[in-house]
Structure 1
Amino acid sequence: MTTSTPTVGALLRTWRERRGISQLELAGRADSSSRHISFIETGRSRPSEEMVLRLADRLDVPVRERNSLLLAAGYAPRYAQTALDDPSMETLREGIERLLTGYEPYPALVVDATYDVVAANRGIVMLLDGLPEHLLTPPLNAMRITLHPEGLAPRIRNLAQWRGHLLAQMERQIALARSEPLRALYEEVSSYPVAERTGDGERREPVPYIALPLVIEHDGHLLSFVSSIATFNTPMDVTVAELAIETMLPADPATVKYLRSLGD
């Protein structure tokens, strides 16, 4: 049995429906007409390379998938995929290293599209202290380390909330991008049994948080962090487009004091 390759029109229609917008709305965003959009989706009209890229931009199609759209339309891929260890990426690697080091003693890391850890600072290493070797064997995976019952999960005080937040984040990403590796990771980590928390650590008065915190025990201390995630603006490389920098900001004075004492 042969499987036909989806046309560019079929792929664009799938992305449009995934974004929940009509042909008329897409036409308005792309400075086109609903008739032309319809013709492209049904294969009656072959879009220009510029139109493919414009529609992909208005539909917020991931950079990796924009290459697939171009190929389906008969054009060459526009975006390279360069390995991070390539000499041309030296400036990027150095910049990431400076950023992570400068954020110490607070935790920060960089992950790729499937949450494999690309780089991390000493604040992250501190949190991973004592985890079993099989979870720390490269490539480290941030979701796996966090939610595995032998990973950080038993140390997280608000595991049910934090687990729900992470799984919902992955669900949104899966809905936005056609990523089978990400879906496979989601199926794995969502099936982990919820580990029982061990040890109570120190107790403190409730703190009014500005966002859902990660509340985690470390060496008898209770630490609280709120997470911020940044991506690169208008990336022209698939690898760069799929990188995310996560920084963990201390959510209360006690966490700040403890981390600074470690730095001292």
Structure 2
Amino acid sequence: MTTAAPAKGNARGKAKGTTYEHASGAGPLLRDWRERRRVSQLELALRADSSARHISFVETGRSRPSEEFLLRLADHLDVPVRDRNSLLLAAGYAPRFRETPLDDPSMGTLREGLEQLLAGYEPYPALVVDATYGVVAANRGIAMMLDGVPGHLLASPNAMRLTLHPEGLAPRIRNLREWRGHLLHQMERQIALQRSDALRAVYEEVAAYPVADPGVDAFEAGADVPYFALPLRIDHDGHVLSFISSISTFNTPMDVTVAELAIETLLPADPATVKYLQTQMS
């Protein structure tokens, strides 16, 4: 498994119990997350076994929440792990969640598990990406699909860039407009739910790539295979391969790095794709 360089820095901060200086408190951040999730103060209070009055006091800075209460609210609002640290810092507490580089010795078990998972999925393609779709690891199925992609796209691989760049996989994708629309919509949803300037930058870059007229694809014309989800239909060495994408994340992560990892697997969508991959990878 090839591991990309992880983000630098560590979110441990000072020892637990240390008071941190904060400018405006956690209230505005909490209100922003509540509004993003379209949850009223009363609804949040009921979920967190509190009162709308208390939630209001926290948001306006009239009441300083305890560390545990703030984390409970963040959990009910599905605040990303990285931003839970920001909430804690704003309230004057130490960050709760570490951010351990993926190449740290303590992450050895995780790396080994990912390697086994990706290898076990072969001959089907699978990869691991970070919060901005940087490719952290990939198996031989992905390597096969990337055959012929220029080195400048592989030097610091990004899944969205590799897929949608005019020199990447885009010219080979039969249903490019549909697949591109699916990927951009996926990123738009993530941006709406998170505060990530880095992800927005990737989105703006790939959304600006030119899209060539793909012509008529079997998917558009009506294929014989009854697809149960939008397929990725891509040319490879004279064959049209069809895949359904599935994305998995870790349950209840306690580390920012782990929380931001996602495993994408490409499931063959027809018997011809299964047969071709088994032949190529045997």
Structure 1 partner of 2:175? 158
Report the Cα distance in structure 1 between the residues aligned to 2:27 and 2:230, rounded to whole angstroms. 41
- Aligned with 1:28 (options 34, 46, 49): 46
Give how far 1:226 is off: 0.1
Contact 2:246 2:266 in 1 (8 A): yes
Which residue of the partner structure matches residue 55 of structure 1? 73
Q: Deviations over 1:97-156 (max 9, x none)?
A: 00000000000000000000000000000000001111111x200000100011100100
Scaled by the length of structure 2, what TM-score is found? 0.89
Tell me how far 1:196 sits from its aligned partner: 4.5
Name the counterpart of 2:264.
246
- State the distance in 2 between where 1:188 and 1:26 align: 36
C-alpha distance in 2, partners of 1:159/1:6?
46
> How many aligned positions are there?
259
Q: Pick from 141, 146, 168: which aligns with 1:128?
A: 146
Deviates more, 1:161-170 or 1:206-215: 206-215
Counterparts of 1:11 and 1:211 in 2: how far apart (Å)? 37
The alpha carbon displacement at 1:205 in A equals 5.2
| Equivalent in the alignment of 2:26 | 8
Q: Counterpart of 2:128?
A: 110
Q: Quote the residue 1:188 is aligned against.
A: 205
- 1:6 Cα deviation after fit: 4.1
1:170 alignment partner, one of 168, 175, 187: 187
| Code of the aligned partner of 1:110 | V
- Percent identical among aligned pairs is 76
Post-superposition offset of 1:263? 2.0
State the 1:167 CA deviation.
Answer: 0.2
Equivalent-residue separation in structure 1 for 2:146 and 2:158 (angstroms): 12
Provide TM-score, normalisation by structure 1.
0.95
Report if aligned partners of 2:126, 2:266 keep a CA contact under 8 Å in 1.
yes
Alpha-carbon distance in 2 for matches of 1:157, 1:39: 55
SS across alignment from 2:245: strand
Partner of residue 19, structure 2: none
Unaligned runs of 5+ in 1: none
| Structure 1 residue 7: Cα displacement | 2.3
Q: d(CA) in 2 for partners of 1:145 and 1:99?
A: 22
Contact 1:153 1:197 in 2 (8 A): no
Distance (Å, rounded) in 1 between the aligned partners of 2:47 and 2:194: 20
Offset, 1:197: 4.3
Question: Hey, what's the Cα distance between the residues in 2 that align with 1:207 and 1:149?
Answer: 28
| Counterpart residue type for residue 203 of structure 2 | Y
Residue pair 1:154, 1:196 contacting (<8 A) in 2 also: no
| CA distance in 2: counterparts of 1:6 and 1:175, whole angstroms | 23
Alpha-carbon deviation of 1:195? Answer: 3.1
2:251 match: secondary structure: coil
Which secondary structure state, in structure 1, belongs to the residue aligned with residue 30 of structure 2? Answer: helix
Structure 2, unmatched stretches of 5+, are 1-21
Q: Distance in 2 between matches of 1:6 and 1:107?
A: 47
Structure-2 change in CA distance of 1:196 and 1:131 (3 Å): farther
Deviation at 1:206, TM superposition (A): 2.7
The reply on whether 1:259 has 2:277 as its aligned counterpart is yes
How many angstroms does 1:262 deviate by?
Answer: 1.0
What's the offset of the Cα at 1:207? 1.2
Q: Hey, which bits of structure 1, 4+ residues long, moved more than 4 A? A: none
Letter in 1 for 2:179: W
Match of 2:58 among 32, 37, 40: 40
